[in-house]
Chains A and B, each alone.
Chain A
Amino acid sequence: MTSADKFFNQHYGLTESDLSKFLAEALSEGGDYADLYYEHTSSSSVLLDEALVKSATEGTAVGCGVRVISGEQTGYAYSDDLSPAAILKAAKTAARIASGPARISTIGLSTLEPAHNFYPVTSTLTDLDLIPKLELVLRADRAARAYDGRISQVRVTYGDQCRHVLLAGSDGKIITDFQPLVRLSVYAIAEANGRRGTGVSGGGGRVGLEYFDGEHSPESFAREAARQAVVQLDAQEAPAGEMEVVLGPGWPGILLHEAVGHGLEADFNRKGISAFSGRLGERVASKLCTVVDDGTLPGRRGSLNMDDEGEPTQKTVLIENGVLRGYLQDRLNANLMSATRTGNGRRESYQHIPMPRMTNTYMLAGQDDPEEIIHSVRRGLYAVHFGGGQVDITSGKFVFSASEAYLIEDGNVTAPVRGATLIGDGPTVLKHVTAVGHDLQLDPGIGTCGKDGQSVPVGVGIPTVKISRLTVGGTAPRNLQSFT
């Protein structure tokens, strides 16, 4: 018995024969496959505002989701009561999707452990006393305020969760995982002469509190948030229209998440409703671009030992030297497309049906010197920090919103500009990538992706890149005249 297996046995009396019985009930009306997803998540969070720890919260969510797959169809039910009667009822409900003779579940179940451990954790987050967590937010607050006298407001949030999961499938596999996740975020506002500026920074991952020792200190995130806020005090109107854009390394990788990542999720492609449908093998980016999705990076927020269907995560090449190579698969879509699973079947919780999702999506480093990339631009935008983004999968149009950006004038980074949304077309934007830096960075670990009402933690990364043509949504079309 593995630790998580023991976990549900010890706390809820769950046995292998129970699991067999529930799976048999799930397949009592037929169907190709059934699985049970047991989850116990304990979490804690701390909120600091106005230099006061205004709230601390702890919580527990526990439940089991039962899924039955029959061809393209999925039946799903869940229960937050783990008693055998409640799970049997959920299994009976999920079974209604199929209509055929009962399918005999496998004879025996065997328990597996994930082949890897990508979570370098030395302490169990939620067993820790609250005090060290309070210290993190208080330290961040002090550092942000000390950064500059114009910092007027600081808000800091800390959150962690520990998720025990057990996946039992009608293919005879039981697999378990214990998934930690921690995040610290700092929000700062600067105010001077009636103007305001905002900054956000933070970090975390599938790590323990020791992550915040050293280079990822609360002070480092606090100073970064404060720095961004102060820069914004002097920001001028952002330009509007098409222009050359240089993206800084790291978090601007959200470009890849929106422009290509979602469009390469297998569900949209199987149905033929993605702007990338049927384009495997086609050139969709410049030769400089190789983009991967990698769930195996140790400690990363988007990493997992296994996806939420029990499949090991992997590194999947999406675009190789500009050519579209692969989709992100879950069980259902891989089966229907006769493709191989890629470990991207994810779900928010036991209350949700798995679907293809990204893990950590990034572009491999290129050869160019980041400084030279900037120097090569006569007039353009240099964007280094972004808020959220969004994409219309079918038309391929995507946006991502710069929160810190500067004008490039005659090859030099000059004035900061106000926040602006950048808009482009997913299947063509990467064709306009004309330089890729050698400075690949991943984001610091605070990203969350939403799809169809489900939120999952993800990562992104990118080196400095130059895009020869992208529409910038500023307010100043007149600035554009000097841009042409």
Chain B
Amino acid sequence: MTQSPLEPMACSLVEDAVRRGATAAEVIAWEGDEFSVGVRMGRIERLKEATSKSLGLRVFVGTSSASAFTSDFTPASLDKLVSRASEMARVTSADPLAGLAEPDALGQYQGELALYSEDVSEVSTAQRIEMAARAEAAAFQVDPRIVNSEGASLESGVTVKVYVNSYGFSGAYRSSYCAVSATPVAEAAGASGKRLERDYWYSVARSVAALESPESIGRKAAERALRRLGARKVATRRVPVVFDPETAASLLGNVFEALRGDAIYRRASFLAGCLGQKIAAETVTITDDGVRPGGLGSRPFDDEGVCSGVTPVVVQGVLQNYLLNSYTARKLGLRTTGNAVRGPAGPPSVGPKNFYLHGGPHSPEEIIRSVKNGLYVTELIGFGVNVVTGDYSRGAAGQWIENGQLTYPVAEVTIAGNLAEMLHGIRMVGSDLEFRGPVAAPTLLLEGLTVGGA
């Protein structure tokens, strides 16, 4: 159990709101430390350190609600917070399904989640700077064509989160993270002068000890930048596309957006009305796991106090569950899956815990070998995904596959399709699942995409 002075403060705010006429109330609060150092060309470029706090109150008057937030915890400011939220809740609309999460869903996961590690606070500033510098130096050592750098960084933080509501739930937990990244720049002579390419690599974890070594991060970043040199466009055509784990996770993030309860009840998703149906190839199984030890999306309870657990989302291609908070669950006549997330402002939204696509039987090499002509995608840019229609069109960069071999780098192309068809078109699933963020996927081979180029 985490102790925080924010917890009694949150409790008294909830009590105060109820005393002043709220029929229900909740408070979410954070306090935390953040640290970051950026190193470029072997020298510190920026050093940042701070502590901050924030608190949000939501009150219900019957089925109307309003919220207020502040970073000013003085008594006068908190008094105004309660009075303004209460006043505003009298003029918003009555929404019959608005409210806190059901009392029987509230609770805290009791197992060990390993969300906090002492080493994140213990490592000295000098060591942090050195880790970032080592990552950058390692990138420069890979190849003389690494001529410049956007820098390397170490970022870390410790946060205590508190949630209290008028059903008597009160909980707090502490979490930490640490991330190291490097972004080297490679240069090569091209037909029209010098061409620059940059790429990055990173590692992020709940503890410093769980990070990839700075040298390994720097080397991978350099290799990724080097392999982009000499990139060219390819002709427009429909070919198989292999997503590496980073871009596959991005694609899976689009699927998450389409499975959010708010998109479903508003019919603002191509997956609305698909519960129980086959929405993807049989090779696809997706789970949302809130209790994976050390997971970057793990938590003992969600931002409505709902106990964390594991939600099967897609099993062998069949949609088993949407991702819900209590409001969207009531709208759909379902039970919350504990996916409430919120900032200090406004009502809870829906966010992933550890949302991942299960690894399959194929090594990434085997997947690439199976492609006669196709694109291996290592970067996606832009926002061309519409989860209402499923239309998918993004900028891409990667390597061209010919006869099962990576041949030359490709850039300035698009890949386009429709998510509904793309999910059915997942032909092979890689064995290389790694949790590098709250959303994770292994290498995937998809059919039915159009590569747009020359």
- Which residues on A are within 8 Å of B, measured CB to CB? 43, 45, 47, 49-50, 52-63, 72-80, 90, 93, 96-97, 130-131, 134, 152-153, 155, 189, 191, 195-198, 232, 238, 240-242, 271-273, 275, 277, 351, 353, 387-395, 397-401, 403, 418-425, 471-477, 480
Chain A residues with Cβ below 8 Å from B427 are none
Q: Is the CB of B412 within 8 A of A80?
A: no
Q: Determine which of B71, B72, B91, B381 lies in contact with A392 in the assembled complex, contact meaning CB atoms within 8 Å.
A: B381
Decide yes or no: A60 and B71 within 8 Å by CB, A241-B453, A389-B382, A399-B395 being known contacts.
Answer: yes
Minimum distance in angstroms from A6 CB to a CB of chain B:
18
Q: Which residue of A lies closest to B74 (CB)?
A: A81
Q: Is the CB of B93 within 8 A of A473?
A: no
- Cα–Cα distance between A79 and B268 once the two chains are bound (Å): 40
Interface contact B384-A387, CB-CB below 8 Å = yes
- B77 on the A face (CB < 8 A): yes
Residues B450 and A397 in contact, CB atoms below 8 Å apart:
no
- A59, B452: Cβ atoms under 8 Å? no
| CB < 8 Å neighbour of B412 from A240, A397, A472, A480 | A397
> Is the Cβ of A471 less than 8 Å from the Cβ of B454?
yes
Bound Cα distance A400, B383 (Å): 8
- On whether the beta carbons of B450 and A78 are closer than 8 Å, the reply is no
B42-93: which residues lie under 8 A (CB-CB) from chain A? 43-54, 56, 65-72, 77, 84-85, 88-89, 91-93
B170 neighbours in A (Cβ, 8 Å): none
A54 touching B454, Cβ below 8 Å: no
Q: Which of A57, A390, A395, A475 contacts B68 (CB 8 A)?
A: A57
Stretch at the interface among B202-210, B295-303, B385-393: B385-393
Interchain nearest-CB distance for A110 vs B (Å)? 29
- Interface stretch of the complex, out of B107-115, B134-142, B414-422: B414-422
Do A238 and B393 contact each other (CB < 8 Å), given the known contacts A58-B68, A72-B45, A73-B46?
yes
Q: From B44, B70, B92, give the contact of A97 (CB < 8 A).
A: B44
Q: Which residue of A55, A77, A198, A424 contacts B67 across the interface (Cβ within 8 Å)?
A: A55
Interchain CB contact under 8 A, A197 and B95: no
Q: Does B227 contact A (CB under 8 A)?
A: no
* A242 CA / B451 CA spacing, docked (Å): 12
Interface flag for B148 (CB, 8 Å): yes
* CB–CB A390/B266 < 8 A: no
Contacts of A387 in B (CB 8 A): 383-384
Residue from B197, B228, B270, B412 in contact with A424 in the complex, judged by beta carbons closer than 8 Å: B412
Q: CA A130 – CA B90 in complex, angstroms?
A: 11
Report the Cα distance A424→B411, complex, angstroms: 10
By a CB distance below 8 angstroms, the chain B residues around A54 are 65, 92-93, 95, 98, 347
- Are A196 and B454 CB-contacts (below 8 A) given A80-B71, A388-B383? no
B191 to chain A, nearest CB (A): 13
Question: In the docked arrangement, what's the CA distance between A401 and B453, Å?
Answer: 15
Q: Is there contact, CB below 8 Å, between B45 and A73?
A: yes
**In the complex, chain B residues whose CB is within 8 Å of the CB of A420:** 384, 393, 414, 416
Known: A399-B382, A418-B391, A420-B384. 16 other contacts (CB 8 A): A49-B266, A54-B92, A54-B93, A55-B67, A76-B50, A79-B50, A240-B416, A242-B236, A273-B196, A390-B382, A393-B198, A420-B416, A421-B395, A471-B453, A474-B416, A477-B238
A39 to chain B, nearest CB (A): 10
Contact (Cβ within 8 A) B347 A55: yes
Q: Are A130 and B91 touching (Cβ within 8 A)?
A: yes
Closest chain A residue to B65, Cβ basis? A55
Q: A392-B381, A394-B197 are in contact. Are A79 and B51 (CB under 8 A)?
A: yes
Q: Are A189 and B268 in contact (CB under 8 A)?
A: yes
Residues from chain A with a CB closer than 8 A to the CB of B450 are 240, 473-477
Judge whether B454 and A473 touch: CB under 8 Å.
Answer: no
B72: contacting residue among A62, A96, A395, CB under 8 A:
A62
**A55 with B46: in contact, given A240-B450, A421-B416 (CB under 8 Å)?**
no
A473–B384 CB distance below 8 A:
yes
Instruction: Give CA–CA (A395, B379) in the complex, Å.
Output: 13
Q: A189-B388, A395-B228 are in contact. Are A421 and B394 (CB under 8 A)?
A: yes
Contact check, B236 vs A153: say whether CB atoms are below 8 A apart: no
B226 at the interface (CB under 8 A from A): no
Contact in complex: B452, A240 (CB < 8 Å): yes
